[in-house]
Copies of this chain bind each other. A is one copy, B any other.
């Protein structure tokens, strides 16, 4: 076999062609790579701390910008809904025999139970969207939930669940399989966004909530929000879809595929059966680095880091700064830090299963039909077998004309989204988002309007925070939600 044009067996027998010699100090030294050694060091710490039951000290944040707080889950702080009945699944003939949903609530349920907002999470968030008396840790949407805030708890009863497939209390690959007494691991069935929503509505049944005031979500939460309105058109009063999509794009699939690939290539992943051993922490770190690139934007990094280097060691602040193969630039130490922070906080299999569910999400009529999915309703016209009329004949409002050059699949998407025709919907996107691009936000709004929905509010935000804008821009994102819900 040829490798770089040389037979591999001959590689070590090459003769010298240079006539000069290096100094011995250069030639004999074997370099160190702290950014690589950190993986083995982390593994040693995991082994040690498993024995000594202490915790890993967290490193400090290298940048100065805002970060979404991902709260560590506190098992005592969330409520559990246990459902002993089977849950039908989109992609499996066997149902999930039973399931659990972890959830938290804020505000007060009205006597008629008509003030419920179901808040859906993104990929890796827990039910801890905001602090509670039993868990005062800051939640991932802390500034958006509370009296007078975007989700006004003086008016609404907000419920947030950990999604099916997750690892923060709800049933997922890290849950125990009754039959074996061991974790499901990759014997967990592939799940869909619709499955997640069905599990949540079983919990709403248990809570006695017949109809939601609103279904609200960002990123994958927006997919769930749309899916909730689709599955239960009579039970959803309003929909908020922020930085989501009705049809995952190839470029978003590509970025999630890259994450799954590095994760599954980690030898610790072990085909998903790592729960009795060491978790694939290196793969998780690498995957999170890639994910972080998709969550932010180049313009933010230009402003926040530019081409600045990492701080020099305090002992030698004025020493020369020769480049290294490990992180040099602040943007590199930032990504390294994001990966390091995350790699033991989330279950690798949950990341794989949930990111796959996002990839598969597609509200195109033919896809929904092939999956044999049906809305639970009698009042809304079920999708017809023919696509709707061309855009110029539909019910677009005068302030929002139909797109002048719609893509070929838009009518099929509009047909698929017809069950949402009567639900007022807020669609909000961010121009700097490279994961759920602004074209996808326009697509959701256009498809809803083409389907005949006359109550679609559509906003685009500027700014440099990319996809993570929904976690950070309280003024604009929060303001739009508050206005829409009031």
Query: Which A residues contact B (CB, under 8 angstroms)?
Result: 1-5, 7-9, 11-12, 14-24, 26-33, 35-36, 39, 45-46, 49-51, 53-56, 72-75, 82, 84, 86, 91-92, 94, 97-98, 100, 167-168, 174-183, 186-187, 189-190, 247-251, 253-255, 257-258, 260-262, 264-265, 267, 269, 271-273, 275-276, 279, 282, 286, 289-290, 293, 297-298, 301-302, 305-307, 322-325, 327-329, 331-332, 335-336, 344-347, 352-353, 356, 359-360, 362, 407, 409, 434, 437
Contact = CB atoms under 8 A, between A and B. Distances in A.
The 8 nearest A-B residue pairs measured at CB: A20-B97, A251-B298, A1-B49, A250-B301, A27-B179, A18-B178, A250-B331, A8-B50
A90 B219 CA distance: 45
Counting every copy of the chain, the complex holds 2
Contacts of A360: 323, 328
A430 B1 CA distance: 39
A5 B346 CA distance: 10
A4 B347 contact: yes
Contact of A262 (B49, B186, B262): B262
Contacts of A1: 45-46, 49-50, 53-56
Given A46-B8, A250-B305, A301-B250, A100 B17 contact: yes
Given A167-B4, A187-B27, A254 B332 contact: yes
Contacts of A45: 1
Nearest to A14: B176
Contacts of A249: 298, 301-302
A248 B178 contact: no
Contacts of A24: 179
A301 B307 CA distance: 31
Contact of A272 (B31, B265, B352): B31
B275 A23 contact: no
Contacts of A352: 325
Given A254-B301, A257-B331, A282-B265, A97 B4 contact: no
A307 to B, nearest CB: 6
Nearest to A2: B55
A398 B196 CA distance: 60
11 contacts: A4-B168, A11-B276, A12-B276, A20-B86, A27-B177, A33-B264, A35-B264, A91-B323, A251-B301, A261-B336, A434-B434
A359 B308 CA distance: 12
Contacts of A4: 73, 167-168, 174, 345-347
A280 to B, nearest CB: 11
Contacts of A175: 18
Given A1-B49, A9-B50, A250-B301, A21 B179 contact: yes
A259 to B, nearest CB: 10
A72 to B, nearest CB: 7
A279 B32 CA distance: 19
B19 A98 contact: yes
Contacts of A54: 1
B264 A98 contact: no
A23 B335 contact: no
Contacts of A290: 258, 290
Nearest to A99: B18
Q: Which of A4, A92, A100 counts the most B-chain CB atoms under 10 A from its CB?
A: A4
A363 to B, nearest CB: 12
Nearest to A271: B33
Q: Which of A302, A306, A323, A347 counts the most B-chain CB atoms under 10 A from its CB?
A: A323
Contact of A289 (B9, B98, B258): B258
Given A1-B53, A20-B97, A253-B331, 11 more contacts: A11-B183, A18-B176, A19-B98, A21-B178, A22-B177, A33-B264, A39-B265, A190-B324, A251-B297, A251-B331, A254-B301
Nearest to A45: B1
Contacts of A7: 50, 53
A277 B22 CA distance: 24
A28 B186 CA distance: 11
Contacts of A286: 258, 261-262, 265
A30 B61 CA distance: 40
A288 to B, nearest CB: 10
Contact of A176 (B16, B167, B253, B306): B16
Nearest to A339: B261
Nearest to A48: B1
A19 B174 contact: no
Contacts of A282: 265
